[in-house]
Amino acid sequence: MEPFVSGKGGLEPTERRRVARHLLLDGFGLSAQERLAASRVVVVGAGGLGSPVLQYLAAAGVGTLGVIDDDAVELSNLQRQVLHTAADVGRGKTDSAADALRALAPGVEVIAHRERLTRENAASILGGYHLVVDGSDTFETRYAVSDAAAGLGLPVVWGSVLGWDGQVSVFWSAAPDGRAITYPDVFGPQPPEGESCATVGVLSPACGVVGSTMAVEAVKVLTGTGDPALGRLLAYDARTSAWDTVPLAAPAPGVDGDPGQDGAPQGSAVADDAAAPPPSSAGPVEATAGVLLLDVGLRPGAVPGAVFARLEDLAAGSFPDELLDHPLDGPVLVVCERGLRSRGAEQLLRAEGWRDVTSHAILG
Distances (CA, A) of 171 to 89, 252, 253: 34, 16, 17
Active-site hit among 62, 197, 264, 293: 197
Task: DSSP for 45-107, please give it.
Answer: -SSTTHHHHHHHHHHHT-SEEEEE---B--GGGGGT-TT--GGGTTSBHHHHHHHHHHHH-TT
Q: Is residue 337 very low, low, confident or very high in pLDDT (cuts 50, 70, 90)?
A: confident
Residue 34, phi then psi, degrees to nearest 5? -65, -35
Residue 250: predicted pLDDT: 52
Chain-centroid distance, C-alpha 203: 13
User: Is 207 designated active site?
Assistant: no
Comma-separated ranges of CATH 3.40.250.10 domains in the chain: 292-361
User: Is 197 designated active site?
Assistant: yes
Q: Is residue 266 very low, low, confident or very high in pLDDT (cuts 50, 70, 90)?
A: very low
Instruction: Report whether pLDDT(279) > 80.
Output: no
pLDDT tens digits for 72-91? 999 999 999 999 999 999 99
Side-chain half-sphere CA neighbours of 113 within 13 A: 22
Distances (CA, A) of 210 to 58, 160, 242, 272, 284: 17, 7, 12, 11, 39
For the domain bounded by 292-361, which CATH number is listed? 3.40.250.10
What lies within 8 Å, CB to CB, of 191 at 6+ separation is: 139, 259, 262, 263, 274
Active-site hit among 336, 349, 357, 361: 336
Query: What percent of the chain is predicted at pLDDT more than 70?
Result: 87
Instruction: Give the whole-angstrom CA distance, residue 67 versus residue 93.
Output: 9
Instruction: Report whether pLDDT(191) > 60.
Output: yes
CATH number 3.40.50.720 given to 13-263: yes
Q: Is residue 9 very low, low, confident or very high in pLDDT (cuts 50, 70, 90)?
A: low
Comma-separated ranges of CATH 3.40.50.720 domains in the chain: 13-263
Instruction: Report whether pLDDT(37) > 50.
Output: yes
Side-chain half-sphere CA neighbours of 128 within 13 A: 13
CB 156 within 8 A of CB 170: yes
